[in-house]
Amino acid sequence: MSSILAALSSAAALMIGATAAQATTVQSITHNSVGIDQQYYSQGITIGTRYDWDTISFAFDMQSGAGFDPYSEGDLFILTEDHLGAPADLGSSTSGFLAQSNGFEDGFWTFERDVTLETGSTYYFVMGDRQNASTTQIFGNEDQMAYGHGISGLSSGAFSGIVGDLDYVLRGEIATTPVPLPATALMLMLGIGSLGAVAARRRRTA
């Protein structure tokens, strides 16, 4: 009886353990050395890991010597398509809108926890309008990049499209969604409880 209970308990533990994954912090960083002067920036990023991400934060790289100096100012929008309009046009009704930043933390824009970036998808992190916006130097590479990576600078008051690749840090956690126990696992747990009760009665009787 004890060996049966042990086997059933192990099987149940494996089923329960498979319902959720451990959340792990992940990041994506580029390191280039060309200073680019613009008032507004847009960076396209393809999520290339095996997992979806949530708990998102993002910052551009202003660099401080050889180190990383995160830059965030104003609002940042996450879109599923490139934005070639003016920064003032950005909002929840913008084509491809996914999310708008909800604050700052240590130089990073932050987003609501339920904002999720899906594996294999490309997203555009686009700065919204700022009052009295001044030119800021962000580091990157002016060579054109593939796979949707790239920056958009302002031209005649609107974003001009992909012209290079910026330095940035995108942070997040592996999105974990608890999976309901299947009916077979629930029945197995009930069976284990019943067998345990029977075994306890037999021990008391003995």
- Domain positions in the chain are 2-18+179-205, 25-174
pLDDT at 97 over 90: yes
Strand pairing class (103-105; 97-100): unpaired
What is the mean pLDDT of the segment spanning 89-116? 96
Return the ∠ at Cα 153 (arms to 96 and 27), rounded to 5°.
65
pLDDT tens profile 12-48: 333 333 334 444 667 777 777 788 888 888 888 888 8
pLDDT at 195 over 60: no
Specify whether the CB–CB gap between 60 and 165 falls below 8 A: no
- Residue 122: closest CA among 173, 81, 94, 91: 81
Mean pLDDT (the chain, rounded): 75
pLDDT of residue 145: 42
Residue 4 confidence class, pLDDT cut points 50, 70, 90: very low
- pLDDT higher for 26 or 189? 26
Cα-Cα-Cα-Cα dihedral sign, residues 133, 129, 161, 62: positive
The Cα 206–Cα 204 span in angstroms is: 5
pLDDT of residue 126: 93
pLDDT of residue 179: 45
- At position 63, the amino acid (one-letter code) is Q
What is the mean pLDDT of the segment spanning 169-186? 66
Tokens of 164: 């290079």
The Cα 190–Cα 200 span in angstroms is: 15
The count of residues in the chain is: 206
Cα–Cα separations (whole angstroms), residue 99 to 20, 124, 187:
25, 11, 41
What is the mean pLDDT of the segment spanning 134-141? 83
Tokens of 67: 């180190």
Share of the chain above pLDDT 90, in %: 29
pLDDT of residue 58: 95
**Side-chain-side CA neighbours of residue 114 (13 Å):** 0
pLDDT at 141 over 90: no
